Amino acid sequence: MLLPRVGPGTEVVQGDLLDGSGLAAALEDVATAYYLVHSMGSAGGFEADDRKAAQAFAAAAKAAGVRRIIYLGGLGHDGEGLSAHLRSRQEVGDLLRESGVPVLEFRASIVLGSGSLSFELIRALVERLPLMVTPRWVAVQAQPIAIEDLVAYLLAAAELPLPASRTFEIGGADRVSYGDLMRIYARQRGIRLLMLPVPCLTPYLSSLWLGLVTPVYARVGRKLIDSIRNASQVRDPAALEAFAIRPLGVEEAIRRAVAAEDSAFAATRWSDALSSSGRAPAWGGVRFGTRLVDSRTLRVAAPPAAAFRPIQRIGGRTGWYGYGFLWQLRGFLDLLAGGVGMRRGRRDAEGLRVGDPVDFWRVEALEPDHLLRLAAEMKLPGRAWLEYEVVADGPGALVRQTAIFDPVGFWGQVYWYALFPLHQVIFAGMLRRIGATASRG
């Protein structure tokens, strides 16, 4: 699963920290090793798994002659009733140091960026709930750090002189609560958020609630909420003295995290992303960050250039390969809502270029005989794209059609799921007719 995501000079070694397999090969001739492992998502007790994995890695690093371990842990302070999650994070650092290999440990609060569990939790709640009942933990103070600043610290740690193990507390420029983070994220996404504080929602009840609203957190919800009750603010400024990094504030960190996702998402090749993600298509599509994706493929008995020809003629007088009355109805409803409707047509019936209007879409990306991506300009509770990718497949071609929607808030979610059954029919029919047209030449 990693091979499609790494550069040609990167060696991928498969291993298992719990049984120790592959560790010797992975650490051979390694001077600096990064330990970025956590097992909070495991079905059993994560503390035991964390302990076993850290001991196996520490022993293998010592045996391989590793000169430095860089470890990312959690920010919390002794004497404040640390959660099991934070105790385990700090125990892992202790176990790594017991190997005798110098360890540079970073202790961080909430990481603002795609993939961070706390960040994903925040945006899942904001995107899905127009009215949020907020327990007391929402007011707990934290010092979030932008993911790019965290990466900068991790890279700089490889060059810092390290005669003995050291621990650094790292955080961003602002100290805020989880509630503040939700409000800032909602404002940047253009979502109206109502929050109703209640005093009686315990961490256990909160975890059950999270499991219902955001099922991805059902397993880790209680462990995560138990950890959130601990304030996580930097008290030791040593990191600012040892490193030249000056972390971003929360507003800028969230803005840049969302912008980076947009850039990465625009460059996605769904033939790679869907196969390497391991996620099976489900009703409602596959979720990538905030975006919902419905992707399907069709093999066509025609070379790529011929398979791309009907795609390049889509819209305008050619139409949308079936269900024309539904497309016209959607255009009429868009006009009523103050949108552009279907009246713009196309600049040219045969050729396209980036920036061209195509009914209520606009060409965002075009690679001749290979790729067409249209960005929606109709009125929507979110952003939408329709993408076609054509690649050679033996004597014929493989055509991938992908509908992408980035819903804004609760009503964006309602819009996608309400229309999903209709989209299944329309988009499947479109792809079949494009394939038939291409095969006829």
Q: Rounded to two decimals, what is the model's pTM? A: 0.75
Alpha helices by DSSP H, 190-249: 203-213, 221-228, 238-242
Is the distance from CB of 169 to CB of 75 less than 8 angstroms? yes
Give every CB contact of residue 436 below 8 A, 6+ residues apart in sequence: none
Structure tokens at 210: 């999270």
pLDDT at position 1, please? Answer: 57
Phi/psi for 177 (5° steps) reads -100, 170
Over 80: is that where the pLDDT of 6 sits? no
pLDDT at position 62, please? Answer: 95
Alpha helices by DSSP H, 214-344: 221-228, 238-242, 250-266, 270-277, 304-312, 324-336
- pLDDT band, very low/low/confident/very high, at 402 (cuts 50, 70, 90): very high
Cα dihedral value 202, 205, 206, 207, nearest 10: 130
168 or 12, which is more confident? 168
- How many angstroms separate the CA atoms of 188 and 419, rounded? 26
- How many angstroms separate the CA atoms of 20 and 102, rounded? 21
Give the range among 117-131, 201-215, 237-251 with minimum mean pLDDT.
201-215
CATH fold match for the domains 3-264 and 268-440: no
pLDDT above 70 covers a percentage of the chain that reads 84
pLDDT at position 276, please? Answer: 47
pLDDT at position 271, please? Answer: 57
- How many angstroms separate the CA atoms of 235 and 212, rounded? 36
What rounded mean pLDDT belongs to the chain? 85
Give every CB contact of residue 195 below 8 A, 6+ residues apart in sequence: 132, 134, 138, 179, 182, 183
Over 70: is that where the pLDDT of 207 sits? no
Give every CB contact of residue 264 below 8 A, 6+ residues apart in sequence: none
What CATH number was assigned to the domain covering residues 3-264?
3.40.50.720
- How many angstroms separate the CA atoms of 433 and 310, rounded? 9
What CATH number was assigned to the domain covering residues 268-440?
3.30.530.20
- How many angstroms separate the CA atoms of 187 and 251, rounded? 10
pLDDT at position 358, please? Answer: 95
Domain boundaries, the chain: 3-264, 268-440
424 or 124, which is more confident? 424
What is the maximum span of the chain, computed from C-alpha positions, in angstroms? 75
Over 60: is that where the pLDDT of 56 sits? yes
Mean pLDDT for the stretch of residues 83-87 = 81
Over 60: is that where the pLDDT of 281 sits? no
